[in-house]
Structure 1
Amino acid sequence: MPRKTLTFLVALALTLPAQGADAQDATEGLRLSLPAEALLDTRPFEREAVAEETLSLEEAVARALENNRGLRAERLQTAIQGTFEAQERSVFDPALFAEFDVFRDREEREFEGFTQDSFFSERRGQAGLQQSLPTGTDLTLSVRSSRVSSSFQNQIEYTTRAGLSLTQALLRGGRIESNLVRLRQASLDVEASEYEVRGFVEQLITDVEGRYWDLVLADEQIAIFEEALAVARAQLDQTERRIRAGDRPETEAVSARAEVALRRQGLIDARADRARAQDALARLLQGDNGGLWDTRLEARSEPELERYTLEPLDAYVALARDHRADLNETRLRVQRNQLEVVRTRNGLLPRLDFFVTLGQSGYADSFSRTWRDRQGDGYDLAAGLRFEMPIGNRAAEAEHTRARLTRQQIQETLANLEQLAIEDVRATWFDAARVREQIQAQKETVELQEELLRVEQTRFRVGAGTALAVAQAQRDLLESRLNLTETVVRFRQLSTELLNASGTLLLHRGIDAPGAERVEIRL
């Protein structure tokens, strides 16, 4: 029979009641079935570590901020959003343009028996600079040159023209605030991504500290179970000596052995919990090489309750309204949507543009002379208005209506998110206050359970008590010690979660990151 199956059957047999001769047989069966080395094998989940590293809480947080792969990916989002801002800014950048084309026309005509061959050839080139301004102004400065030759002319003619054209939007597209909407929205997206990164960092630190204290708790539980196992074994040895001396019946050994088996079971579970806690912490801390999987991490910091106090609930709620990253990010989304309303309102206007073109041309039989042989003081000038209005304008109306409804929707979302944030802060504060109150009561419980165990051990030594009563007292003491340890660690975790819920975790940890100020909704 495999050893795992045998151990399970032995543990099951320890929980069955035994009386009289059957109890004595059961005791003997236990002595024969349970191998001695099984009592010592309590490390099935521990791997042989390649290295060992001791970390404080601050060192763990610093390593996570430096190495965490998820944070690296999140930081790239801000850089990505910055490219959209640069793209929108480029709309107002000046642009150079140039073009060149050749046109040639050749014709043959018959007239009264004669064939007439004619041709026309033109080469044209143009270059210039154009720019759109936030004021709704389009400027173009250009130079155009052409070379014309034909069968109707005995010489080649060159023409050069330098000109400036201006188009100014008077209605649609004529306001600076509407023309800058896309750029301002892209800038708000960059700022919102910074708040998003800040929220990610706060949650990462919360996770790191939570997993760190899980590791501390697992180590404390292992130490408690090891101590409890040692006490249970000592009680078993004492019971067996009393049985051999004839002071106790054989049935007394059953409860003592059961206690040893239960303590071993608890120790195995505690070691498994530590392995999981270490892996969870290692994932948050390690970088590219992944070397922490096989490194044994030892926690150096302790959850000192004297360093952590609870401020009044209203203080945390007020801080959450100002500093929570998700609320500030949503406020930026509201502001972005208000800009969308401005943009779509501009689309409701008809298009009315004023344009003017001014230029001067030169003509000569060579390209270089066209710059000297101009028309003296002559010039060409064109000016006018251009009007455009879609009949019904339904597309612009629908877009503007959608923008207004979306703005209202996101405002409701913000109000709901604020309520959820307040609920989150209040629930975490109530849990932290409850856990802190329980600590003192559980300390008193541990002291009373220790006294009760001493009483039962004394009664057992003088023959007035039983091994079962001692085992029960040991079990109660173990449970109370574990509860106290879990409560202390849980309060430390809730303290971090409360700071995270109020949006002030980075401020309390002295970590400088963008997005520390409250966002005020404005146009």
Structure 2
Amino acid sequence: MKITAKTTAVAALCLLLGMAGSGFAQEPTVNLTLKDAIRLGFERNLDLKVELYNPAMAEADIRRTLGIYDPLLTLGANYNRTNSNNTLTFRPQAIDQATVNAGVSQLLPTGTVVGLTAESGWVDSSFNKYYSNGVSLTLNQPLLRNFGQEATELQINVSRLAKEESIERFKTRLSDTVAQIRSDYFKLYNLREVLLVKRNSLALAQRILADTQGRVKAGVLPAMEILNAEFQVATREKEVIDAERGVRDQMDVLRTSLQLPLGAEIVVADTPSREPYQIAEDAALTTALVNRSELALQRAVVRTNDLQQRVARNQTLPDLSLNASAGMGGFDRGFLRGLEKTATVEEPNWGIGLQFSFPLGNRAAENSYIRSKLAMEQSTAQLQSLEVGVTRDVKAAIRQVSANYKQIEVTNRGRAYAEDRLRAFEKRQAVGLATTKDVFDVENDLVTAKGNEIQALVDYNNSITLLWRVTGEILDRQGIRVTDKQADPLYDRLK
């Protein structure tokens, strides 16, 4: 009765496993190559889309700061009434004045502000009424502080460097995403291969169970051997279920990162490479120092701080400005006659002057300059630290590739030895020199050896991925090119 009950339980578990396997196979299948997985990640990954908005916003900042060169139009209208005593008659008089004006001013890269203003007015007093008209051209040119294009365009250049920084951050995020997709892809390969090993192990256990049942019925083996065989079958069935769950969980990970349809069964179409990877350490270090997006980002920070330091030094100078103006005007009782006088330059006017100012002590500007120098030194030290870290990472990654490639050979030999050992124990069992438990123990060793072999292959390819990541060439290796215009469509879409 005990044997029958256990046999029934095993049969029920097999039925459950069959139903799970049937459902697993009925899902729509997506044959996914590694190249397609990376392409889909580049196009669809939501985290990358979120990161891409930062360069788009940086582009908006550039366009905003360029607004300093937009001409400024001013329009005005004023009415004024005053009451005063006439200095000749000592009688009170009222004076009404009305003026309208229009002007336009333009900032030039040198810091110069040029303006053109036209004004027309009407004056009505107790003793006189007349129209006044005038056109004037003004110029304000800083000679020390704020002189030159670099000081004028500070915020423009800072915004451009900020966009460069945001592009490098996007490339860093993209490199991490591509590396993660490769890792997730190979992990799915690993889990599927392990699932296949577990299923083969289950099939072998079921065969041994059937053979053991026949031997017990023939009286060759004791009945307890069936109990052990049934336990081994049940254990392997649970391992298959766990392996299938691992495959399903990993497919969910890829579906999420690649935005694939829910329920699609992902089948990896590419296998990890077994080819030896040739590495020249000096070339890898040079590539890393040139291509790593983290280093490019920090170099942009250094350039920003250097620019701000130079402008901050300029701000410590005195404020000396040249002011100049030239114009023409006309006064007459008739409006048109006043315009004619203005047009014929009958009453020209001009002026020129210098304006000097300097805060005694100048502590604000001096300390702003000191702070900018400290920020420059800090960013330079951070760049040096990153370069040292990159060098260390590249060397460690190269050693890891070599070690993992050797591990493939070790696990290959371990798997071959485990296969030979299992065949030997199966032969010994057939002649009664080994128990069923001995065979299962050896078969467990074979399953472990096969798992180690699969893992070693995946680890080797993951170490290559890591090497590409730390040398900054992973995007080039996968055929991905990122330009400084990458996010401009997002900006253009909302213009």
1:488 to 452, 457, 464: 457
Correspondence for 1:463: 432
Correspondence for 2:37: 60
Q: Is 1:344 aligned to residue 312 of structure 2?
A: yes
| 1:322-361 matched pairs, under 5 angstroms | 322-361=290-329
Q: Is 1:413 aligned to residue 385 of structure 2?
A: no
- Match of 1:139, SS state, is strand
Q: Is 1:161 aligned to residue 162 of structure 2?
A: no
Distance 1:395 1:241 in 2: 97
1:167-225 CA-to-partner distances (Å, cap 9, x unmatched) read 11111112332323222221111122222222222111111111111111111111111
| 1:442-457 matched pairs, under 5 angstroms | 442-457=411-426
Q: Which amino acid aligns with 1:441?
A: V
Q: Is the 8 A contact 1:325 1:515 kept in 2?
A: no
Q: % of aligned pairs identical?
A: 26
- Match of 2:135, SS state, is strand
Q: Is 1:305 aligned to residue 278 of structure 2?
A: no
1:208 to 163, 181, 198: 181
Distance 1:406 1:472 in 2: 65
Q: Is 1:146 aligned to residue 146 of structure 2?
A: no
Correspondence for 1:78: 55
1:278-299 CA-to-partner distances (Å, cap 9, x unmatched) read 111111111xxxx622222221
Q: Is 1:219 aligned to residue 188 of structure 2?
A: no
1:252 to 214, 225, 242: 225
Q: Is the 8 A contact 1:211 1:277 kept in 2?
A: yes
Correspondence for 1:396: 365
Q: Which amino acid aligns with 2:328?
A: Q
Flag the 1:515–1:90 CA change in 2: closer, same or farther, 3 A. closer
Distance 1:317 1:40 in 2: 57
1:112-131 CA-to-partner distances (Å, cap 9, x unmatched) read xxxx7743211111111111
Flag the 1:268–1:314 CA change in 2: closer, same or farther, 3 A. farther
Correspondence for 1:373: 341
Q: Is 1:197 aligned to residue 195 of structure 2?
A: no
Flag the 1:208–1:243 CA change in 2: closer, same or farther, 3 A. same
Correspondence for 1:14: none
| TM-score, length basis structure 2 | 0.91
| TM-score, length basis structure 1 | 0.86
Q: Is the 8 A contact 1:198 1:514 kept in 2?
A: no
Considering only aligned residues, what root-mean-square deviation do their CA atoms show, in Å? 2.4
Q: Is the 8 A contact 1:92 1:133 kept in 2?
A: yes
Distance 2:345 2:211 in 1: 125
- Match of 2:127, SS state, is coil
Flag the 1:108–1:342 CA change in 2: closer, same or farther, 3 A. closer
Q: Which amino acid aligns with 1:72?
A: K
- Match of 2:279, SS state, is coil
Q: Is 1:38 aligned to residue 13 of structure 2?
A: yes
Q: Is 1:262 aligned to residue 262 of structure 2?
A: no
Q: Which amino acid aligns with 1:389?
A: F
Q: Is 1:514 aligned to residue 483 of structure 2?
A: yes
Shift of 1:432: 2.0
- Choose 182-191 or 472-481, whichever is displaced more: 182-191
1:504 to 463, 473, 476: 473
Q: Is the 8 A contact 1:310 1:433 kept in 2?
A: no
Distance 2:53 2:240 in 1: 44
Correspondence for 2:46: 69
1:100 to 58, 77, 81: 77
Distance 1:295 1:502 in 2: 35
Q: Which amino acid aligns with 2:411?
A: Q
Count residues with an aligned counterpart.
Answer: 479
- Match of 2:341, SS state, is coil
Q: Is the 8 A contact 2:330 2:347 kept in 1?
A: no
Shift of 1:362: 1.0
Flag the 1:410–1:376 CA change in 2: closer, same or farther, 3 A. closer
| Unmatched 5+ stretches in structure 2 | 486-495
Distance 1:467 1:129 in 2: 99
Flag the 1:55–1:166 CA change in 2: closer, same or farther, 3 A. same
1:22-75 CA-to-partner distances (Å, cap 9, x unmatched) read xxx9x7496278352113423769668763322111111111111111111222
Correspondence for 1:124: 99
- Match of 2:407, SS state, is helix
Q: Which amino acid aligns with 1:464?
A: L
| 1:173-188 matched pairs, under 5 angstroms | 173-188=146-161
Q: Which amino acid aligns with 1:157?
A: Y
Distance 1:138 1:497 in 2: 55
Correspondence for 1:285: 258
Distance 1:104 1:118 in 2: 10
1:219-247 CA-to-partner distances (Å, cap 9, x unmatched) read 11111111110001101111111111111
- Match of 1:428, SS state, is helix
- Choose 489-498 or 453-462, whichever is displaced more: 489-498
Q: Is 1:296 aligned to residue 273 of structure 2?
A: no
Shift of 1:152: 2.6
Q: Which amino acid aligns with 2:425?
A: E
Distance 1:392 1:47 in 2: 79
Correspondence for 2:393: 424
- Choose 247-256 or 235-244, whichever is displaced more: 247-256
Flag the 1:272–1:366 CA change in 2: closer, same or farther, 3 A. farther
Correspondence for 1:519: none
Q: Is the 8 A contact 1:49 1:295 kept in 2?
A: no
Correspondence for 1:20: none
| Unmatched 5+ stretches in structure 1 | 1-24, 110-115, 517-523
Correspondence for 1:8: none
Q: Which amino acid aligns with 2:465?
A: T
Shift of 1:323: 0.4
1:134 to 109, 114, 135: 109
Distance 1:108 1:139 in 2: 40
- Match of 2:262, SS state, is helix
1:476-497 CA-to-partner distances (Å, cap 9, x unmatched) read 0000001111111221222122
Distance 2:335 2:42 in 1: 66
Q: Is the 8 A contact 2:6 2:230 kept in 1?
A: no
